[in-house]
Amino acid sequence: MANAPIKTIEKKTVTEMKVRSRFIKTAPDKLRFVSKIALGKEVNEAINVLTFFPQAARRPLISVLKAGISQAKDKNITAPLYIKAVAVDEGPKLKRRRIIHQGRATSILKRMSHITIYLTVDNPTKKSKVRK
């Protein structure tokens, strides 16, 4: 085995990454409305736009995007990251009761969300040239 070739390990470059945050106490429809604004933008630009957005649902999205920047630094990604896709899924619901007239009760559902943001190094809005 003295003449065996030495195997070189190639370092894979990461071009896409997924950032998740779960059990956020904000309704999914409120988060989906705000997340449409960030889609396709560069991460720092999306954070700047969301910072001045009036809805309170922007806060969890900003924190998830900052977590994505932190993960990119850990993976040594220096290229600018773009938001490829945003998925806001429904999480569990906290069920509460509210007493109304004549001793009856109505249910109150406090909804939670799961946010998944897919980041990529390639600009998704940039159109690629198609050869004929």
The pLDDT tens digits of the residues spanning 44-102 come to 999 999 999 999 999 999 999 999 999 999 988 888 999 999 999 999 999 999 999 99
Question: Which residues constitute the domain of residue 51?
Answer: 16-120
79/65 Cα distance (integer angstroms): 15
Check residue 115 and give its pLDDT: 96
Check residue 92 and give its pLDDT: 96
Domain-located, residue 6: no
Domain-located, residue 3: no
Check: CB of residue 129 under 8 Å from CB of residue 53: no
Domain-located, residue 20: yes
Domain-located, residue 97: yes
Check residue 128 and give its pLDDT: 55
Domain-located, residue 32: yes
Q: Is the pLDDT of residue 11 over 70?
A: no
Q: Which helix (H) or strand (E) holds 23?
A: strand 16-24
Domain-located, residue 130: no
pLDDT category at 30 given cuts 50, 70, 90 is very high
Question: Which CATH number is 20's domain given?
Answer: 3.90.470.10
Domain-located, residue 1: no
Domain-located, residue 100: yes
Give the other-Cβ count within 10 Å of 37's Cβ.
16
Per the structure, the count of domains in the chain is: 1
Degrees to nearest 5, angle at CA 117 with 71 and 121: 60
Q: Which residues pair with 42 in a beta bridge?
A: 82
Q: Is the pLDDT of residue 15 over 90?
A: no
